[in-house]
Amino acid sequence: MKRSLLLVISLFALSALNACGGGASGGNVQPLTITSGAPPSGGAQTAYGVTKSGFSLAASGGVPPYTWSWAAAAGSALPPGLSLAASGLISGTPTSSGNYNVQVTVKDSASPPSQQTANYTINISGSTITITSSAPPSGTFGIVYAGRVGPVCMPGTPGCFCIFMPIRPSCHIALHGFQLTVAGGAQPYSWSWAAAPGSALPPGLALSSAGILDGVPTKNGSYGVAITVSDSSMPMVQNEADYIILIAPPPAPQISAVNSPSAVVNQAYSFTFTAAGGEPPLVWSESGALPPGLSFSSGGVLSGKPIATGGFPITVMVQDSAGQNATPQNFTAQVTAHGFAMTGTMSTARVSQTATLLNDGTVLVVGGQDGTGTPVANSEVYAPTGGTFAVSGTLGAARYAHAAVLLGTEKVLVAGGDDISGNAISSAELYDPAAKTFAPLGSMGSARDSFTATLLGNGKVLLAGGGDANGVQATAELFDPSTGSFSPTGSMNSARAAHTATLLSSGKVLVTGGVDGNGNVLGTAELYDPVTGMFTLTAGNMTDQRYTHTATLLGNGKVLLTGGTDATNSSVASAELYDPNTGSFAATGSMSTPRSAHQAILLSDGTVLVEGGTDENGTPLVAAEIYGSVTGLFASTGSLQSPRFRHTATLLNSGALLVTGGANSTEVMATAELYQ
């Protein structure tokens, strides 16, 4: 009974299994069939499919799941940029146009698998590109094309190169050039241009392959151009646009402000006038009587050798090639009896250097800063006989804003100043003219820059004031050549830097002006007595507060103070005299030009030559003037050949004045001049 029941159950299970289609050769399995239609057409550089998300192939029958694959039909290729996933999704972005014959195969999961194949033609139409930028803008002759200011951004913004603006925490980008733009097609694009029929390309402009039209137009006019853009598809797609670019003439020329040196009678002279704007070439002319011996060229050069002194008013004109005239400028050509002429050039450009007259009549130039602001370690010697400079010894420490004093031993003490980091230093060295070498000395008691060093009647050197890491100081010390050592002496009543110190006929030293540790400009003065080693305030204060001024001992024993910078940080034209008999200061005639960081030297005829410096606007000066101690007045004299400040002036044994180095408005100079 039990055995019969098991047999019935087994037969029932087998019957149920067959009824459900079990087995590899079930008679109810439907054949595998591709049921989707043909893949749609597409466009190059456009995502494939009606919804841009692709096209799904479909199948029925067989044993799911299905696996799809494809291959290029004979003599054809697969559409570049499209792919077929095993799931049956055709997707991607076609990169080339054309008709592509493909063979699609689907396999089911039976063992062995069934498969079906279908052949399709997928049409990919060509891409289109459109130039979307506006017509290129007009330009102006001589002015960078399409100049503009880019977006303002905060410093540190990624991708933003900023020029820091101190007024606010923002910056801007200076841009130029016109960017052409395009839509559609396959990137990257390539741009080119050609002159339109009967026209030409604007001279000075160029079109980069990236589509940037840039340059500086070199000729005005109207220019027809054909601009073409090509994409990267295969086959390549192009578009073209025709434009007219107008280049306007430049503004009329404008004669630059005249800051010309005066001419000196019977000396060669040349000065070139300049103008801004205008379309070259410029043609110059003048009206009025020129100084005898000088001529004026169409290139704007006034040159020759004048044979008469005086002021000669002329009017200067210039016209550009477009026929535009500048506003005429009135100009007075000054010819003086005395003036400056160029002499030899130093091997190194220098500013804030020292220049010391040696006993043999040559001049030792030491240290300073070069054109990069780097302290200079070398020195050179000027020989008046040949008017040339020769490189001499090298300092142990490069320095500027230092002091140099010729000692009674014929050697030169070089002390203090600033190093390459801008820090005041205390080291000192001795220059030996015979050996042309520097030897180290013991250090000063304090590091100093912008201080004074004065040779006393007893042969010692007084070093006073200046700045160090702690600020401006009032201390002073003495250098004794006999021992080669420094020792402290009495301190000044006020801390001072950028002041003056002048040895009086009495043997005392007059110290005037400067700035104190709080940045206050001083109008006080004091006297150092070598006998007591003490400083005492003068009986009266100066008539003006000033620093970066000059102090010159006159033949009558008085001291002339000129110019400098006042409490408002403006250069001043005032001058005053210190009278050692009364211990007081009194105003004297003012200079014709405010100036600071200039030079004033007593000449052999008893007059004082004041030259160079910067005016109230900070502009370097060429102007020079002479102070007469008898008249108490300043009078113009021949000017420098180049504007300069923070330079040196040294009276030679011949009575000529040597001016070396310094800076003008654009550079540190290596040139030198002689006043005679």
pLDDT digits (tens, 9 = 90+) for 561-616: 999 999 999 999 999 999 999 999 999 999 999 999 999 999 999 999 999 999 99
Tell me, yes or no, whether 329 and 294 share the same domain.
Answer: yes
Q: Looking at 70, 98, 125, which one is the last position of a domain?
A: 125
**Residue 198, Cβ neighbours under 10 Å: how many?**
6
**What are the structure tokens assigned to 90, written together?**
């055709």
Mean pLDDT of 98-116: 95
Looking at residue 233, what is its pLDDT? 79
Residue 154 has pLDDT above 90, yes or no: no
Supply the CATH number for residue 44's domain. 2.60.40.10
Tell me, yes or no, whether 288 and 321 share the same domain.
Answer: yes
Residue 22 has pLDDT above 70, yes or no: no
Q: Is residue 443 domain-resident?
A: no
> Residue 284 belongs to what domain range?
255-337
Tell me, yes or no, whether 98 and 183 share the same domain.
Answer: no
Q: Is residue 610 domain-resident?
A: no
Instruction: Give the pLDDT band (50/70/90) at residue 17.
Output: very low
**What are the structure tokens assigned to 469, written together?**
């890491």
- What pairing do the DSSP bridges indicate for beta strands 115-125 and 42-43? parallel
Q: Is residue 414 domain-resident?
A: no
Q: Is residue 239 domain-resident?
A: yes
Residue 5 has pLDDT above 90, yes or no: no
Calculate the average pLDDT of the chain: 90
Radius of gyration of the chain (CA): 44
Q: Is residue 8 domain-resident?
A: no
Tell me, yes or no, whether 61 and 143 share the same domain.
Answer: no
Instruction: Give the pLDDT band (50/70/90) at residue 174.
Output: low
Asked whether 620 and 611 are in contact (CB, 8 A), the reply is: no
Lowest-confidence region among 332-341, 349-358, 562-571: 332-341
Residue 318 has pLDDT above 80, yes or no: yes
Q: Is residue 156 domain-resident?
A: yes
**What are the structure tokens assigned to 29, written together?**
């399995």
Per cent of the chain over pLDDT 90 is: 81
**Position 650, amino acid:** T
- Closest by CA to 39, choosing from 120, 124, 103, is 120
Tell me, yes or no, whether 219 and 265 share the same domain.
Answer: no
Q: Looking at 125, 151, 175, which one is the last position of a domain?
A: 125
Q: What are the backbone angles phi and psi of residue 4, rounded to the nearest 5°?
A: -65, -35
Asked whether 367 and 353 are in contact (CB, 8 A), the reply is: yes
Tell me, yes or no, whether 265 and 316 share the same domain.
Answer: yes
Tell me, yes or no, whether 158 and 113 share the same domain.
Answer: no
| Centroid of chain to Cα 187 | 37
Work out how many domains the chain is built from and give that number. 3
Instruction: Give the pLDDT band (50/70/90) at residue 250.
Output: confident
**What are the structure tokens assigned to 5, written together?**
């029941």
Could you give the CA distance from residue 443 to residue 200 in angstroms, rounded to a whole number?
73
Mean pLDDT of 37-49: 89
Most confident of 120-129, 193-202, 603-612: 603-612
- What pairing do the DSSP bridges indicate for beta strands 67-72 and 98-107? antiparallel
Lowest-confidence region among 51-55, 283-287, 427-431: 51-55
Mean pLDDT of 410-418: 97
Tell me, yes or no, whether 142 and 235 share the same domain.
Answer: yes
Task: Give residue-wise pLDDT tens across range 514-531.
Answer: 999 999 999 999 999 999
Could you give the CA distance from residue 646 to residue 551 in angstroms, rounded to a whole number?
15
Q: Is residue 279 domain-resident?
A: yes
Looking at residue 368, what is its pLDDT? 98
Asked whether 431 and 393 are in contact (CB, 8 A), the reply is: yes
Tell me, yes or no, whether 107 and 186 share the same domain.
Answer: no
Could you give the CA distance from residue 393 to residue 157 in angstroms, rounded to a whole number?
50
Q: Is residue 52 domain-resident?
A: yes
Mean pLDDT of 123-128: 83
pTM above 0.85, yes or no: no
b/e per residue 474-499 (b: at least 16 CB within 10 A): bbbbbbebeeeebeebbbbebbbbbb
SS3 at position 284: strand
Instruction: Give the pLDDT band (50/70/90) at residue 148.
Output: low
- Closest by CA to 625, choosing from 615, 638, 642, 613, is 638
SS3 at position 384: coil
**Position 60, amino acid:** S
Looking at residue 277, what is its pLDDT? 87
**What are the structure tokens assigned to 464, written together?**
């006073």
Q: Looking at 307, 337, 367, which one is the last position of a domain?
A: 337
Torsion sign (Cα): 482, 487, 491, 494? positive
Instruction: Tell whether omega for the bond before 65 is within 30 degrees of 0, i.e. cis.
Output: yes
Residue 11 has pLDDT above 60, yes or no: no
Task: Give residue-wise pLDDT tens across range 622-649.
Answer: 999 999 999 999 999 999 999 999 999 9
Residue 471 has pLDDT above 60, yes or no: yes
Does residue 1 or residue 502 have the better pLDDT?
Answer: 502
Tell me, yes or no, whether 226 and 211 share the same domain.
Answer: yes
- Closest by CA to 275, choosing from 296, 299, 294, is 299
Contacts of 422 (CB under 8 A, 6+ apart): none
Task: Give residue-wise pLDDT tens across range 252-271.
Answer: 999 998 777 889 998 899 99
Tell me, yes or no, whether 135 and 237 share the same domain.
Answer: yes
Dihedral class, residue 654 (left if φ above 0, else alpha if ψ from -120 to 50, else beta): alpha
Tell me, yes or no, whether 239 and 262 share the same domain.
Answer: no
Asked whether 490 and 508 are in contact (CB, 8 A), the reply is: no
Residue 157 has pLDDT above 80, yes or no: no
- Give, as one character, the DSSP assignment of residue 593: S
Give the neighbor-by-neighbor strand order of the sheet with 534-537.
500-503, 509-512, 525-529, 534-537
Beta bridge partners of 335: 263, 310
